[in-house]
A and B are shown apart, each in its own frame.
Chain A
């Protein structure tokens, strides 16, 4: 599996850096007490993920990740965090409660299980990846798939976005005054 060629070494090095950044930033998100720092760590996480997508020949998805996720969603997050103001909690104070122990166990179990499951079930199929054509992961490729095989998913996703937009407007609107607060004649 480890074929050490020159191109290979470069890929491996990039992979190592990106993967490490990804994992570190994920741990950082979970650990910081200041939400602002957590959001910044998440931006880092998203960026390293985009690099990983590039390594997997999915250029469009990588671009979308940076534009949509890191560019729009995280900016929104940062706006809200700034609006709400400074708030910090000390998550690790007071020793582990039974909840914390349970949480750690559950998360560890999930991790182990995922790995075991994939390892058991995948068999030898994960060892060898086929070569893909050059336009794999290009916008044209994705676009054609969206508009032919997965048209339904495309349309439904647009509806979901519409609903979310309406929901956002409603949640953000000023609440109507209750009848008893109205001035009496």
Chain B
């Protein structure tokens, strides 16, 4: 079991190293094949662990395998170890599986890019980092993986580094993630202080309510930053500057879900700090509404999907905050399938239209890209949560859990249902605009179909696989009747709430209804064009400016920092530097100039000086002695 886990972890690292060391000795295509192979090997390792774990039961399913002692200082010591338990195996399967598919897709998508090798090295690095995060056997390794995925995200967002937008987006993402890293580090410091270590066991210790609240708050800060929830959500839409497979893998399927994983992994702390857990759920609900609203006015195809990701992660946070851990994780899994599917399908559209991403220029792609049309349809239906697609099974159980949480839970429930309507609306707005109607002028001019070679196979094939997963992947669990996912994760995280049967069915029904209503509204506005889209200029402006969060942060943090820097420069650095260094130099030069004037070069002056000094000295000697 642990061997599989180690293979899973190490394989992408080996690929990253080999591609980096190979450099130009590898052809670009070979780098892609190598990375894909490594990810598939990784997946088989994860599969092997999974199968082995099936053969065990209960507490036997949790194994820590230590390779060596990594860090040892005083009373604190930390090993380089992997934890193989149901939660980590589930994440391993998702990360390596979806990762392998997306890396395979990249072979086609990035074909022809001069820096393909660098791309595949970074992708392998990312997969390794993410696996380290989920497999890390102690909190320190989790933090290491956490930081490394942030790094990989930075490297991949800014992959096309000649574009200033990409660089700016990469910096923004990294800086906002760093805020979360800082809060997490503080939380870990507190843990070390109180319990002396960072093994996962310390999470189960009992803490005073202040400590628990502070630690949970720190962890929540990290989760919020990594998962782009309120209030640190502004980096995710900008991160769409990276290549589409990057958006699919990092900013949809895996990295942004790390926050949810963190909350589930450290649920013991959150259970000791119920207010913070409620805060997490509340932030999730707020984000899902915010993102849903903003997605209604976006015109970039990838940004719509990005906001939808933000919104769906809000659901996961909602679930995790309420204690419905298994439901949150299940939604994480199905979301990975259909969100990756949507992104990759969008990537096919973008490639077919010569890298155009503005949906206002698109239209009528149904006949030109039939496979993609069906894939997007499946993905969109799964996203909205329509039976029998994947999202249906996972989303509703979260809403049911909200109902079981008291009055606050009902508020969240209403928010969640509103979100479902919005999801239907914006998802199908996108779908109808891009695929419906007649081909637009732009499309007729620039469209070119995918070639039927490796490129076409890699892109089309992986999309097909993900479509199948989005179709059938949800059938693993249907809360009222069969729930193997719950049972699977029960040993790791016992759910806090168990919704009753009527709550389950009510949620299912309401959410289905609202989802269909959203789809119908989208059809009215954008599909059949029967009703004009309602426009409220004020609302339109607020949504287009993303609720002015960027401007707010600019005013709160960036401008004061710039002013401070400028002020210090003028008031402190200039005078000090000028006063000390420059003026010292000038003074030394002036003194030197004065002294240099004594050197007239004339013999007579020197001799006169000698004679005068002898005369003076003679007086002194005679007088003193």
Confirm or deny: A109 has a beta carbon within 8 angstroms of a beta carbon on chain B. Answer: yes
**Residue in B604, B618, B621, B625 whose beta carbon sits within 8 Å of that of A110 in the complex:** B618
**Residue in B604, B619, B622 whose beta carbon sits within 8 Å of that of A99 in the complex:** B604
Q: By the criterion CB–CB under 8 Å, are B608 and A99 in contact? A: yes
Confirm or deny: B582 has a beta carbon within 8 angstroms of a beta carbon on chain A. Answer: no
* Complexed CA–CA distance, A90 and B605 (Å): 19
Given contacts A99-B604, A99-B605, A99-B608, is CB(A106)–CB(B622) below 8 Å? no
Q: By the criterion CB–CB under 8 Å, are A113 and B622 in contact? A: yes
Given contacts A116-B622, A117-B622, is CB(A110)–CB(B615) below 8 Å? yes
For residue B474, give the distance in angstroms from its CB to the closest CB of chain A. 91
By secondary structure, the A interface counts as helix
Confirm or deny: A71 has a beta carbon within 8 angstroms of a beta carbon on chain B. Answer: no
B584-625 interface code vs A (CB 8 A; 1 in, 0 out): 000000000000000000001100100110110011011001
Q: By the criterion CB–CB under 8 Å, are B622 and A120 in contact? A: yes
Chain A's closest residue to B614 (CB) is A110
For residue B614, give the distance in angstroms from its CB to the closest CB of chain A. 7
Q: By the criterion CB–CB under 8 Å, are B608 and A113 in contact? A: no
**Residue in B608, B619, B621, B622 whose beta carbon sits within 8 Å of that of A103 in the complex:** B608
Q: Contacts of B612 on A, CB cut-off 8 Å?
A: 102, 106
Total number of A residues with any Cβ neighbor in B under 8 Å: 13
Q: Contacts of B604 on A, CB cut-off 8 Å?
A: 99, 103
Chain A's closest residue to B625 (CB) is A121
Confirm or deny: A80 has a beta carbon within 8 angstroms of a beta carbon on chain B. Answer: no
Interface size range on B against A: 10 to 19
Chain B's closest residue to A110 (CB) is B615
For residue A104, give the distance in angstroms from its CB to the closest CB of chain B. 11
Chain B's closest residue to A117 (CB) is B622
Q: Contacts of A120 on B, CB cut-off 8 Å?
A: 622
Q: By the criterion CB–CB under 8 Å, are A103 and B618 in contact? A: no
Among A102, A106, A120, max chain B CB count under 10 A is at A106
* Complexed CA–CA distance, A109 and B613 (Å): 11
Confirm or deny: A56 has a beta carbon within 8 angstroms of a beta carbon on chain B. Answer: no
For residue B597, give the distance in angstroms from its CB to the closest CB of chain A. 15
Confirm or deny: A166 has a beta carbon within 8 angstroms of a beta carbon on chain B. Answer: no
**Residue in A99, A102, A107, A113 whose beta carbon sits within 8 Å of that of B618 in the complex:** A113
* Complexed CA–CA distance, A121 and B615 (Å): 17
**Residue in A103, A116, A117, A121 whose beta carbon sits within 8 Å of that of B611 in the complex:** A103
For residue A100, give the distance in angstroms from its CB to the closest CB of chain B. 10
Given contacts A102-B612, A107-B611, is CB(A113)–CB(B605) below 8 Å? no
* Complexed CA–CA distance, A110 and B622 (Å): 13
* Complexed CA–CA distance, A106 and B621 (Å): 17
Q: By the criterion CB–CB under 8 Å, are B622 and A102 in contact? A: no
Q: Contacts of B621 on A, CB cut-off 8 Å?
A: 117
* Complexed CA–CA distance, A120 and B619 (Å): 12
Given contacts A99-B605, A99-B608, is CB(A106)–CB(B618) below 8 Å? no
For residue A24, give the distance in angstroms from its CB to the closest CB of chain B. 23
**Residue in A102, A114, A116, A121 whose beta carbon sits within 8 Å of that of B608 in the complex:** A102
Q: Contacts of B625 on A, CB cut-off 8 Å?
A: 121
Q: By the criterion CB–CB under 8 Å, are A106 and B619 in contact? A: no
* Complexed CA–CA distance, A102 and B604 (Å): 11
Q: Contacts of A99 on B, CB cut-off 8 Å?
A: 604-605, 608
Q: Contacts of B619 on A, CB cut-off 8 Å?
A: 113
Chain B's closest residue to A120 (CB) is B622
A83-109 interface code vs B (CB 8 A; 1 in, 0 out): 000000000000000010011001101
* Complexed CA–CA distance, A110 and B618 (Å): 8
* Complexed CA–CA distance, A30 and B37 (Å): 104
Chain B's closest residue to A106 (CB) is B611
* Complexed CA–CA distance, A110 and B615 (Å): 6
* Complexed CA–CA distance, A114 and B612 (Å): 14
Q: Contacts of A107 on B, CB cut-off 8 Å?
A: 611
Q: By the criterion CB–CB under 8 Å, are B608 and A110 in contact? A: no
* Complexed CA–CA distance, A121 and B623 (Å): 11
Q: By the criterion CB–CB under 8 Å, are B618 and A117 in contact? A: yes
Chain B's closest residue to A112 (CB) is B615
For residue B620, give the distance in angstroms from its CB to the closest CB of chain A. 11
For residue B233, give the distance in angstroms from its CB to the closest CB of chain A. 76
* Complexed CA–CA distance, A116 and B619 (Å): 10
Q: Contacts of B611 on A, CB cut-off 8 Å?
A: 103, 106-107, 110
* Complexed CA–CA distance, A117 and B618 (Å): 8
A118-134 interface code vs B (CB 8 A; 1 in, 0 out): 00110000000000000
Q: Contacts of A110 on B, CB cut-off 8 Å?
A: 611, 614-615, 618
Q: By the criterion CB–CB under 8 Å, are A106 and B605 in contact? A: no
B399-421 interface code vs A (CB 8 A; 1 in, 0 out): 00000000000000000000000
Q: What are 19 A-B contacts with C-beta separation under 8 Å?
A: A99-B604, A99-B605, A102-B608, A102-B612, A106-B608, A106-B611, A106-B615, A107-B611, A110-B611, A110-B615, A110-B618, A113-B615, A113-B618, A113-B619, A114-B618, A117-B621, A120-B622, A121-B622, A121-B625
Would you list the 7 A-B pairs with minimal beta carbon distance, nearest first? A106-B611, A109-B615, A113-B618, A117-B622, A106-B612, A110-B615, A106-B615
Residues of chain A having any CB pair with chain B under 8 Å:
99, 102-103, 106-107, 109-110, 113-114, 116-117, 120-121
6 additional contacts (CB under 8 A) given A103-B608, A106-B612, A113-B622? A99-B608, A107-B611, A109-B615, A110-B614, A113-B618, A116-B622
